[in-house]
Every structure is written in C-alpha cells, then in structure tokens.
Chains A and B, each alone.
Chain A
Amino acid sequence: MTNTHDRPGSAGGADESGQLHGGPDDDYTPEQLGAMDRTELDRLGARYDGVEVLHVEPAAPAGSALEKKNTRLVTNWFLLAALFALAFLVVYAGSGWFLPDWEWSVGSSTWSSIYTPLLGLTFGASMIAVGIALVLYVKKLLPHETAVQDKHDGSHFDRVTTGATLLSGLHNSGLPRRKALKGALGLLAAAFGAMLIAPLGGFLKNPNTGNPLGTTPWADGLRMLRDDGTPVRPGDQEPGSLETVFPAVEGGNTAYDAAVMLIRLRPEQLTNLTIPEGQEGYGYGDYVAYSKICTHAGCPVSLYEQETSRILCPCHQSQFDVTDGAKPIFGPATRSLPQLPITVDDEGYFVARGDFPEPVGPSYWNMGRLG
C-alpha cells in the first residue's frame, strides 16, 4: 500500500478501501484460510450464505465393488449416448452418400420413409441417455448431502432508509409543492403516451365502407361454376346430390364468402318443402342454392345427409334443414343459411338472380344495418 497523495486529481487522504468494504476478509486472514482444508472452506463459505450442511451420506467407498458397479453403469449410459449421437451423424450425413437417398417420394424406398424416424430415434435416445447418465451420476456416485438454508424476512432498516432516500429526493425536487409543473408533467405523460400509441392507427380499416361484410361477389346473371371452372346445367346432378359452386368472377372460387351449395332435392323432399317468407321463387325447379358458409363461425358446412335433409357443419355441429329454408335445427348456429336466388340463362346454365338477400357467415354487431 502507498499513502502518497501526489497523484493528479487526488485530494489527499488514505488511498485505501474504507470501513464499509470490510466483511469476511476481516474475520479470516489468508493464513487462517490457508490452514483449512477444502471441506472446511466449503462449509465456511456456505455458512456465510446461510447454508448449513446437516447430513452427508457418503457415496460408495472408492474401490468397493458397489462403486465399481455404479461407475460402470454411469459410464455405459454416457457411452450409449455417444453411440447414438454417432448413429445420428451416420444416418444424417450418410444418406445419399453410402446409404440410400433420404428424399421421400411416393413409392420410394423404405430408407427414405424411415429416415426421419431414425433421426428422431438416435437424436432423442442420445439426449435421453445423457439425461439418465447425469441423474444416475447424482444418485449413485455423489455423496447425498442434506443442506438447510435460512430464509430471511425483509429488513425494517432497509425499508426505512430506502424510503427516506426516495422521499428526500422527491422533497428536494419540490414537485409536491410546484402544482403547475406537476400539472404540466401530467399532461405531458398523457399526450406523450397517446402520441406513442397513435401510429397503431395504421392498422385500422373501416369495416363499414361499402358494406363488405354484407355483400358477396354474387350478382344478377353470374353463372355458377364448379371449382374447376365448368358451368352447371339442371340435368347434371342426380336428385339428392349437392354440388359446391362459385360465382363466375375472377377469384370467385377462393373468395371466403362466395361458396354456394347447389342442391337437387328428391321428390319426397319437394313434397315436404317449406319455403320461408320472402324467399318464394328463389329455387329453380327441384334445385335450391344455399350459402355454404356457416352462420355460427364461418366454416364451410360440408356434410349433407340426404335421407334426413340435414346439412352438418363439421366444426361445431350446427345442423340445418334444407327442406325448411336451411333453418338451424341443432347446435350453436342461430340463423338460417342465406339462400341464393337462382335461375337458368339462355344457354341452359345456372345463374344467380342477384346477391344473397342477407349477410353470409357469422353474425356481428351491426349486421343488416348497412346498405
């Protein structure tokens, strides 16, 4: 240690750490520590951390048959892990080199179909073997130590002194007294916060301009096309069958709200047919067309059971009766599937006579109040 005070910037005084930096180094000299063995030092440090080692059950004695057996066990698990890791490398890198190609294709070799399973097996087995080896290491080769550590409650001294530091800072700032300054800061916080979140406005889109939720691509005179783009004639379908059709517009078969079920009713269904009010003449002969989009959560209702005239939505099991205006008869749906008015054009193909009279798909707050 030097006590010279002639260094630049030094204001004099002892250039040593002060009292506050004391601690265990004052309690134990290097000589005392040097005289202790490793276990004593370990326990001493632990005591400083509030940890007392209560009980040590020693591991199997070195050189004993039990120790040899346990060591062999752990060693073998680590070896197994290494072997599986090597096997992974062989499978991963060897495929397409000295092993068959890994790329899978329909009808390709067995190797490509067990390639991923083999990778998973070797990778997983290697990792699990390491895990087992580590756990066995602890259980079989380490002494079993039971330690106890103190749990402290908060210190009253710390709370009071910290509080005093914070409060004196606040007092010195004068904020509690300076009402106008405080008001300005409050306004700033509000305006600043609003300014920071304002750019989220870029996400907003008005759902009410042009009533996009209440309209679909269907329009008067649009032909009904199958998914492959071919038009449909009245004679194409057997009675009791269902065909999914789309409007003859660009992207008509990918629009989420345009899919329509064109159903040809059987004669006995026709005799029981109930036509809802306002939808008279929407069908054509023994054909009716309903929106395929479920009025519950928007899934395509796809399962048609012609014996019971029911259409089932596979998502939440709403059921609709096609002989009763596609009214929901079971499940969570509340509204009938909208019916599309249809007719046949000059060339004998099915066309729509306009858009759906009501919004398609799930209900929403201001449904039917626009346009």
Chain B
Amino acid sequence: MATNTAPGPGEPTTLAGKAAFEVDDRLIVAGPVRRTLNKVFPDHWSFLLGEIALYSFMVLLLSGTYLTFFYDASMTEVVYEGSYAPLRGLDVSAAFASTLDISFDVRGGLLMRQMHHWAALLFVASIVVHLLRIFFTGAFRRPRETNWFIGIGLLVLALLEGFAGYTLPDDLLSGGGLRIFSAVFLSIPVIGTWVYFTVFGGDFPGEVIIGRLYILHVLIIPAILLALIALHLLILVKQKHTQFPGAGRTEHNVVGNRLFPTFAAKATGLLFIVFGLCAALGGLVQINPIWLLGPYNPAQVTAGSQPDWYIGFVDGGARIFPPWEIVLWGYHIPPVLWGALGIPGVMFGALALYPILERKLTGDTASHHLLQRPRDVPVRTSLGAMAITAYVVLWISGGNDLIADKFDISLNAMTWFGRIGFLVLPPIAYWATYRLCLGLEKHDREVLEHGIETGVIRRMPSGEFIEVHQPLGPVDAHGHGQLAYGGASVPKKMNQVGGARRAVRGFFKPIEAPADVQRQAELEARGLEAEQASRELTRSGRPSEGGRPQDPRD
C-alpha cells in the first residue's frame, strides 16, 4: 500500500499520533487495546481483596529477588564474624550467617528482609479474606468453579511457599518448625519414613534441606504461583466480573467503571498503598529477629515459639489432638498425623469440593453472574461461619501457651478448651449465624413493606401515637409497600434516600454557593425519581425479578 504524503481525513497530525499509527501498522493492536481500555469493572470495595493479594505478590517478587543476591542457601558450618557482636565467634550455618549479614551488614537489607516477611503475611491474609468474600457471596458458582479450584491451589501453595521461606534463615525458631514437619512426614502410614528420608536426603536435619527448600522457595513454587495467577486472571477477564444485584444490574451485563482511566488509576493507587504499607511495616515493625533467636540447635527451643500466623492452625491441631496412637499388628499411626495433616487435609479438601457439593445439594446448575448477599443463603453462610469458628479455635490453640501465660490460665485448661471448643463451638456458630441471616432478611422485607423508620412520632386525633414510616415505593390501600425483595441492599436510614441535605463543601470557608448545592441536590433527586420510574420495581411480583430492570439488550 502506498503511503500518502498528506494526512487523509482522520489521519493523525501529532507526533505521538503518527507514532501510534506506525506501531499499529506493524502490530495491529488498536482493536485489542481499545477493548481492554473499555473493559468495565464493577465498583465495590470487596472486589479489591484479590488485588491486594496480587500486589503483595509483586512486592514479594521484587524484595525476594533482592534478597537472593545476598543469601547463601548452605548448611555448611561457618564461624560468624559479622557485625552483630553477641553472636560473633559462634558456629552457625552459612544460611544463618548470610541472613544476619542481610540484617546488619547490607545497607537497607533489614528493611528488605522485613518488608519481604510482612508482604508474605499480607499475601496469605489477603488470599484468605478474598476467598471468604468469594465464598459468602456465592461467586464460586457456575461458571467460576475453575477459578475457585485454582484459588484453593494458590492458597495451599502460598502456605507452602511461606513455610519454605521462613525456614531459610535456619534459625532456632524455624529449625524447630522444620523438626515438627519432619515428624509429620514420619507419621504418614507405610511410606512415612521413606518420605522423610527423601525430603531430608537422609536423617534429619542432614545437609541438603535448606538448599532444597531454597530452590522450591525461589523457583519452583513461585513459577507455579505465577502461572496459576496468570490463569486465574485470564479466566477472570474472559468470564468478566460478578456484581452485586442493584439498579440496572443483570445476569447479562457488568455495571461499573471502564478500565481507563478510572479503574486503572484506582488499581494503581491501591498497588502503591499496598507496597507502601509493606515498606512501612518492614521498617517500623520488627519481624522475625533471628539474631535474638540464635542458630538452630536440635537440643534447644524457646518457650512460646510461634510459627507465622497462617501455620498456627496446623500447630493448634497438633496441640489439641488427643494422645491416640493407633497400633495395628505392631505398626504405628501416631496422633500427629491427624492433628497436623488430617485437619488441614479435610479443611482444604472441603474447600475445594464445596462448589460441587453445593451444586449436588441444591440442584442449582445455572450460570450466575449476580452475587448473593450472605443473609439470603443462610445455609451456606452458616456453614462458612462454622468452618471459620473451627479454624479460629485451632488457631487460638496454636498459641494456647501464650494465652495461658499472659492471662494466667491453666495450660491444660486451654488445651481442653481447644478440644471441647473444636467440637462444640462450630455447631453453635452455625445456629447463631442461621438465626442472624433470617433476622436480617426479615428486617429487609419489613422495611420494604412498611418503609423506613423516620423517628417522627405523630399523635393521632384519637390520642394514639404512631411512628411515621417513609415508604420506599408506591403503597397499596393499606399503606403497605409493594416492592419485592430482590437480593440488593435495602436502605434503612432516611439519609440513604436523600433525607439529609448535602453539606456545602469547604473546610474553613464555603467554596460552593449554597444555592448551587441546593439546585444540584434537587436535580439529583429528580434524576433519582427518573431512575426509580425506569426501574421495574413495582410491576413484578416475583422476588427473583424484583428491583431489577428487564435486560435492556434482549
């Protein structure tokens, strides 16, 4: 094709425009780029939880790469000669010595190390909270089961990655944790001793485990994590986001902001805030001070040893499981298998299978893009509360010695609390959550029927006092609202329906003319009325359709 010398109609005239055309001539990317920029993202704070996980993973990759340049994954014994005087002259492993060097002899190294550790805690925490959001709103339902499975895989890998990472310094605390892990390997029936010898390259602790954990921690697990995260996001983009029910939102659309510029700017802002939070914590809040713990020694342990928070529930399981050792024809199955491997196994297994179980039990095989409010699915919400309660009991039991010490409670009583609480509290949580869900749902329906409580008390001519209610929509002859509950949030306060005037902005002096603000508010109120009128709020009697418009496109 011949190139025109003079720009035709619509041809770019600026340098940047010309350059963009040149690029598109070669790569033909204008279409896909436009589609990406136009992609609509729903606007709700709970959709940012997964992003926090993604951004803390980015912090982990960057700070972790920095640390690899100084860390020596070797168990060779060296004499520590670094800056930290109290440990100087001690026989330590090269891994421990190099971690001390990062902390004391690399400029800004301690900041990087602590930032990495804090980001790891935040990474796992945000994955867990993200998972709970997905669970309680039913976002795992068809067609998103695959992403749920990938998410569970990511969580398990994140735990393993975290464990491998905090074992690398080869200090007294992590060495003790590794020893407990070795006991868990040993407890596996039939192949336990083989697994143990294979992992440690012989008897514990051997000479190879730190090097093996290192390659797992910096290459193998991160590579799998990265691949799974990419797949997770690709599927997310392909399937588009879920959204909460509300005005104009249907199973066939996404209402929100376009990627560019609104969502991109907000997401980038969140990235910076997450990064900054990790950095601030890394500098200001000490974490894992291995110089106070000392190098690993199999004959030593500190009282009150605690793993990172996300391993605590495994430790709790090992602590509260009763001393039941099964001996069959002279072969042993020790209790640590059930406490430290069985409970997490059941937990992750149940999590992974949940979407399939729910499909089987409810018979709901339809595709869902609108989320559910937890109160509208009381059984699922209560099951979730039950699981969380069991988890929290295990987690508290993981630190039962600290609680016993600080609150001057008998240690044995704390263990018995864990044993009994693990069995008794979850059903109570199920019952309480179930009642709570029904109560909340009932109140929503009540407000739809009777209107919002205004707080205005009126005395009737008969002498009777009544409270005036503000109906949310048209009412019938008896004054009852005709809105059906549609799974969306119901306003409960007058201010939420424009009961209060908008404040005039300006801190020291008003920077808006009060008259303009008043006019704007009136306009907005009219807009609201117009919007209300266009909604199919009153015509539909079916609850599943209530409050939602007809699909405008079909």
**Chain A residues packing against B (C-beta within 8 Å):** 1, 30-31, 33-35, 45-46, 48-49, 51, 53-54, 65-66, 69, 92, 95, 102-106, 116-121, 123-135, 137-138, 142, 144-153, 203-208, 212-213, 227, 244, 246, 253-257, 259, 292-293, 296-300, 302-303, 312, 314-318, 328, 330-335, 361-369
By a CB distance below 8 angstroms, the chain B residues around A118 are 283
Tell me the smallest distance from the CB of B39 to a CB of chain A, in Å: 7
By a CB distance below 8 angstroms, the chain B residues around A208 are 193
**B318–A51 contact, CB under 8 A?**
no
Q: Given A334-B335, A363-B325, is A298 in contact with B248 using a C-beta cutoff of 8 Å? A: no
**A149–B40 contact, CB under 8 A?**
yes
With CB as the reference atom, state the residue of chain A lying closest to B115. Answer: A120
Complex CA distance for A259 and B179, rounded to whole angstroms: 14
Given contacts A33-B10, A364-B334, 13 further A-B contacts (CB under 8 A): A45-B34, A51-B258, A54-B255, A66-B511, A121-B280, A127-B275, A151-B254, A203-B198, A206-B194, A257-B298, A296-B335, A314-B304, A362-B182
Query: Is B349 an interface residue when CB atoms closer than 8 A count as contact?
Result: no
**A66–B505 contact, CB under 8 A?**
yes
**A128–B277 contact, CB under 8 A?**
yes
Query: Is B257 an interface residue when CB atoms closer than 8 A count as contact?
Result: yes
By a CB distance below 8 angstroms, the chain B residues around A124 are 276-284
Query: Is B441 an interface residue when CB atoms closer than 8 A count as contact?
Result: no
**A104–B83 contact, CB under 8 A?**
yes
Contact of B194 among A204, A253, A333 (CB under 8 A): A204
**A34–B276 contact, CB under 8 A?**
no
Complex CA distance for A254 and B203, rounded to whole angstroms: 13
Complex CA distance for A48 and B105, rounded to whole angstroms: 58
Query: Is B86 an interface residue when CB atoms closer than 8 A count as contact?
Result: yes
By a CB distance below 8 angstroms, the chain B residues around A334 are 323-325, 334-335
Tell me the smallest distance from the CB of B171 to a CB of chain A, in Å: 15
Q: Given A213-B193, A298-B179, A300-B301, is A331 in contact with B280 using a C-beta cutoff of 8 Å? A: no
Counting chain B residues whose Cβ lies within 8 A of the other chain, the interface size class is 35 or more
Tell me the smallest distance from the CB of B331 to a CB of chain A, in Å: 5
Complex CA distance for A227 and B91, rounded to whole angstroms: 13
**A130–B272 contact, CB under 8 A?**
yes
**A204–B198 contact, CB under 8 A?**
yes
Contact of A128 among B203, B272, B283, B332 (CB under 8 A): B272
Complex CA distance for A265 and B241, rounded to whole angstroms: 69
**A150–B253 contact, CB under 8 A?**
yes
Complex CA distance for A203 and B318, rounded to whole angstroms: 28
Contact of B111 among A120, A137, A335, A367 (CB under 8 A): A120
Query: Is B107 an interface residue when CB atoms closer than 8 A count as contact?
Result: yes
Counting chain B CB atoms within 10 Å of each CB, the highest count among A118, A150, A151, A297 belongs to A297
**A331–B415 contact, CB under 8 A?**
yes
Q: List 23 A-B pairs, Cβ < 8 Å.
A: A33-B9, A69-B511, A102-B107, A116-B111, A120-B114, A120-B284, A135-B273, A147-B258, A149-B38, A151-B369, A206-B197, A207-B197, A256-B179, A259-B298, A296-B334, A297-B183, A317-B412, A331-B319, A333-B323, A362-B183, A364-B334, A366-B331, A369-B330
Q: Which 10 A-B pairs have the closest CB atoms?
A: A120-B283, A124-B280, A127-B276, A134-B269, A131-B273, A131-B272, A128-B276, A34-B9, A259-B299, A149-B40
Query: Is B68 an interface residue when CB atoms closer than 8 A count as contact?
Result: no
Tell me the smallest distance from the CB of A71 to a CB of chain B, in Å: 12
**B107–A92 contact, CB under 8 A?**
yes
**Chain B residues packing against A (C-beta within 8 Å):** 1, 8-11, 34-35, 38-40, 83-86, 104-105, 107-108, 110-111, 114-115, 176, 179-180, 182-184, 186-194, 196-198, 201-205, 240, 248, 251-258, 261-262, 265-266, 268-284, 297-305, 315, 318-325, 330-336, 339-340, 367, 369, 400-401, 411-412, 415, 505-506, 511-512, 553
Complex CA distance for A133 and B277, rounded to whole angstroms: 15
Contact of B276 among A125, A254, A303 (CB under 8 A): A125
Contact of B10 among A30, A144, A300, A335 (CB under 8 A): A30
**A314–B302 contact, CB under 8 A?**
yes
Contact of A205 among B183, B198, B278 (CB under 8 A): B198
Complex CA distance for A33 and B298, rounded to whole angstroms: 76
By a CB distance below 8 angstroms, the chain A residues around B40 are 51, 147-149
Tell me the smallest distance from the CB of B413 to a CB of chain A, in Å: 11
Q: Given A69-B506, A138-B262, A365-B332, is A296 in contact with B183 using a C-beta cutoff of 8 Å? A: yes
By a CB distance below 8 angstroms, the chain A residues around B284 are 117, 120-121, 124
By a CB distance below 8 angstroms, the chain A residues around B512 are 65-66
By a CB distance below 8 angstroms, the chain B residues around A153 are 367
By a CB distance below 8 angstroms, the chain B residues around A255 are 298
**B298–A254 contact, CB under 8 A?**
yes
Counting chain B CB atoms within 10 Å of each CB, the highest count among A123, A138, A151, A367 belongs to A151
**A314–B303 contact, CB under 8 A?**
yes
**B202–A205 contact, CB under 8 A?**
yes
Complex CA distance for A289 and B305, rounded to whole angstroms: 25
Complex CA distance for A328 and B184, rounded to whole angstroms: 19
Tell me the smallest distance from the CB of A366 to a CB of chain B, in Å: 6
With CB as the reference atom, state the residue of chain B lying closest to A133. Answer: B269
By a CB distance below 8 angstroms, the chain A residues around B179 are 256, 297-299
Complex CA distance for A71 and B118, rounded to whole angstroms: 34
Complex CA distance for A300 and B175, rounded to whole angstroms: 11
Tell me the smallest distance from the CB of A169 to a CB of chain B, in Å: 25
**B204–A151 contact, CB under 8 A?**
no
Counting chain A CB atoms within 10 Å of each CB, the highest count among B201, B304, B323, B511 belongs to B323
Tell me the smallest distance from the CB of B58 to a CB of chain A, in Å: 12
Complex CA distance for A122 and B517, rounded to whole angstroms: 40
Tell me the smallest distance from the CB of B405 to a CB of chain A, in Å: 11
**B279–A142 contact, CB under 8 A?**
no
Contact of B266 among A134, A253, A312 (CB under 8 A): A134
Tell me the smallest distance from the CB of A259 to a CB of chain B, in Å: 4
Q: Given A103-B105, A117-B283, is A244 in contact with B332 using a C-beta cutoff of 8 Å? A: no
With CB as the reference atom, state the residue of chain A lying closest to B39. Answer: A149
By a CB distance below 8 angstroms, the chain A residues around B11 are 30
Q: Given A131-B271, A131-B273, A207-B197, is A299 in contact with B176 using a C-beta cutoff of 8 Å? A: yes
**A131–B276 contact, CB under 8 A?**
yes
By a CB distance below 8 angstroms, the chain A residues around B268 are 131, 134
By a CB distance below 8 angstroms, the chain A residues around B411 are 312, 317
By a CB distance below 8 angstroms, the chain A residues around B108 are 92, 116, 119
By a CB distance below 8 angstroms, the chain A residues around B335 are 296, 332, 334
Complex CA distance for A51 and B256, rounded to whole angstroms: 10
Complex CA distance for A51 and B183, rounded to whole angstroms: 57
By a CB distance below 8 angstroms, the chain B residues around A364 are 186-187, 192-193, 196, 332, 334
Counting chain B CB atoms within 10 Å of each CB, the highest count among A130, A132, A298 belongs to A298
